[in-house]
Each structure stands twice: as C-alpha cells, then as structure tokens.
C-alpha cells in the first residue's frame, strides 16, 4: 500500500505500574495488619522472604491464606485498607495524561501488583478503572466470608505473565512496554521488559532495582515518571517537559539530573582505620 495523506496510526505503548510504594507511600499489607490487629507483620514477611517459599511480594497473599492471625480477613477489610492507603500525589493527572496521549502516541495504563485486588481497586476508586487493576485474586467461602483460595498472585514472575497477557490483549509491541516499580517484587518483570528493549523506571532507591531499571525517578509525585517516558519515547527536552507539567497545573521544581555513584572506600589492608590515607586531608595540608 502506498502512504496515504492521513496521519499514521499512533504508536501504542503499554504503561504498567506496581502499586505498593510505587503509587502509594505505605504498604497495603501493613495497613491491613494494623486494621485487623495482626502483630509482627514485618517480621512475618521477612521470615517468609528469607525462606523463598513464595515469590517476592507474594508474602501477604500467603499469610492471608495460611496465617491464623489473618483468618478474620473479609473483603470489607480489604476495601477499608484501600481507603486508608496514602497515595502518592498527582495520580489523577498521570492517568489523565496517559488517557489523553500525545500526537502520534497512545498509552494504555494498568496496575500490576501483588496486593489484594480489592485493596488496590478501593484505593484507586474513581481514578483507575477496576478492569485495569491486576492484583492478587482471592476467593471467599460463601458461608463464612473467609478467604478459601488464592487463584492468582501477580508477584515476582507472576507479574511477567500478567504483562504478557496485557500485551497480547492490546496487541502492543514488547519494546513499547514501560514498567514502573519500586521493590524486589519488580525484579523479574523489569529484567523481562529490559530484555525485550522496553523501558523500566524505578521510583525508589532500592539497590537491586537501581542496577536493573533503565531510569530512576525519586519524587512524591506519581506524575514524575512522565519525564523519562517523554525523553525515552519522544526525545522531549526539558523545556517541553516543563511546559507539559504546567499544562497540568504542576510545576517541576528541584529537578536534579544525577547519576550517583555512592560508595565507601576503605583501606584495603584493613588495619588502617581512621588513620588511613585521606586525600582530602593531604590536599588541604
């Protein structure tokens, strides 16, 4: 077919984001535990993580199903925990920007998280449509309301399978997948996205992710991820990006571009301690 005068179809990107500590500040498992009075939640999670019994990020799903202290969890507790989660700023602006797209670019946004689906749907009610939220799926006993099965946990490699399903459903190219996450549950999916030339964005200083993610954005605002997205897909410059933020009523202040090499350097002989060679002291001297 010859090229027609009409504009080409827009490039379609899938933008997938984690939930806990990526779109929120706190961990929904911790919020739920506090709500129902479960003790030592973080200890339980780190014990499970050490054992590698479940995929990283899938600890809460396991506890809900198997820990006696979580037996009292009902779907209404999950919805209430969602309402108590503190969200990052500007998620509505981010969703609006992605929905609107740019000339020549179309975005489909979804949330892929190991948190129970009910928690995320409640936290993002009115912001992200429920059918774009993929969380841990729980089944309830109709008689007691107790959780009786966990059909699916999008944690660790589980996130890769949800992502692949979304790409197949939307018909997007793997290199047009962008994944945003903050923690160890995102390692598999980020390696997978990188491996197929997609873009990975970390929104925390997690050391494991910092080495894997192609970009890192540290901001209280969820809208911050728009910066690497625009630079990556459309090679936008700072001035255009600032203007876009302003068009959403946001101003981009304190924008520091940094590639940080953080280190501690010690005396290799080991015995030197404080008396070791100090280049600063010798320069000053």
CB of 226: closest distance to Mg ion in angstroms? 19
Which of 134, 128, 129, 113 lies closest to 60, judged by CA? Answer: 113
- If one asks whether residue 20 binds Mg ion (CB under 5 A), the answer comes out as yes
> CA angle at residue 220 from 204 to 191, to 5 degrees?
30
Give the nearer residue to Mg ion in terms of CB position, either 21 or 33: 21
Among 58, 183, 198, 228, binds Mg ion (CB under 5 A): 183
Specify the residue, 28 or 177, whose C-beta has the smaller distance to Mg ion: 28
29 binds Mg ion (CB under 5 A): no
CB of 222 to Mg ion, least distance (A): 13
Shortest Å, Cβ 115 to Mg ion: 8
Q: Which stretch binds Mg ion (CB under 5 A): 16-24, 38-46, 67-75, 238-246?
A: 16-24
Decide if residue 182 touches Mg ion (CB under 5 A): yes
Complex with Mg ion: residue 167 or 182, whichever CB lies closer = 182
The one among 16, 17, 18, 228 contacting Mg ion by CB under 5 A: 18
CB of 136 to Mg ion, least distance (A): 13
Measured from the CB of residue 23, what is the shortest distance to Mg ion in angstroms? 9
Contact region with Mg ion (CB under 5 A), list: 11-19, 46-54, 101-109, 246-254: 11-19
Q: Which is nearer to Mg ion, 29 or 198 (CB)?
A: 29
Taking the complex as a whole, the smallest distance from the CB of residue 57 to Mg ion amounts, in Å, to 7
Residue by residue, what is the 3-state secondary structure of the chain?
Answer: CCCCCCCCCCEEEEEEECCCCCCECCCHHHHHHHHHCCCCHHHHHHHHHHHCCCCCCCHHHHHHHHCHHHCCCCHHHHHHHHHHCCECECHHHHHHHHHHCECCEEEEEEEEEEEEHHHHHHHCCCCCCHHHEEEEEEEECCCCCCEEEEEECCCCHHHHHHHHHHHHHHCCCHHHEEEEECCHHHHHHHHHHHHCCCEEEECCCCHHHHHHCCEECCCCEHHHHHHHHHHHHHCCCHHHHHHHHHHCCCCCCCCCCCCCCCCCCCCCCCCCHHHCCCHHHHHHC
Toward Mg ion, which CB reaches closer, 137 or 173? 137
**In the complex with Mg ion, which residue's Cβ is closer, 18 or 59?**
18
Binding site for Mg ion (CB under 5 A): 18, 20-21, 182-183
């Amino acid at each position: 077919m010859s090229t027609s005068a009409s504009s080409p179809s827009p490039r379609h990107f899938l933008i997938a984001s984690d939930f806990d500590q990526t779109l929120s500040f706190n961990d929904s498992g911790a919020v739920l535990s506090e709500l129902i009075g479960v003790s030592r939640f973080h200890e339980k999670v780190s014990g499970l993580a050490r054992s590698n019994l479940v995929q990283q990020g899938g600890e809460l799903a396991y506890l809900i199903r198997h820990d006696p202290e979580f037996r009292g969890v009902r779907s209404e507790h999950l919805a209430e925990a969602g309402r108590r989660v503190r969200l990052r700023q500007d998620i509505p602006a981010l969703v609006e920007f992605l929905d609107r797209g740019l000339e020549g670019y179309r975005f489909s946004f979804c949330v892929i998280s190991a948190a129970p689906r009910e928690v995320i749907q409640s936290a993002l009610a009115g912001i992200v449509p429920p059918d774009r939220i993929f969380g841990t799926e729980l089944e309830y006993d109709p008689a007691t309301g107790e959780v009786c099965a966990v059909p699916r946990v999008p944690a660790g490699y589980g996130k890769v399978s949800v992502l692949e399903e979304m790409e197949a459903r939307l018909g997007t190219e793997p290199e047009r997948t962008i994944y945003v996450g903050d923690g160890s549950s995102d390692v598999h999916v980020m390696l997978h996205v990188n491996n197929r030339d997609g873009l990975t964005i970390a929104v925390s200083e997690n050391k494991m992710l910092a080495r894997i993610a192609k970009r890192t954005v540290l901001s209280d605002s969820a809208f911050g991820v728009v910066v690497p997205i625009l630079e990556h897909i459309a090679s936008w410059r700072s001035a255009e990006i600032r203007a876009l933020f302003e068009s959403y009523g946001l101003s981009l202040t304190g924008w520091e571009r940094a590639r940080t090499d953080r280190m501690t350097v010690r005396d290799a002989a080991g015995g030197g301690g404080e008396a070791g060679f100090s280049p600063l002291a010798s320069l000053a001297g």
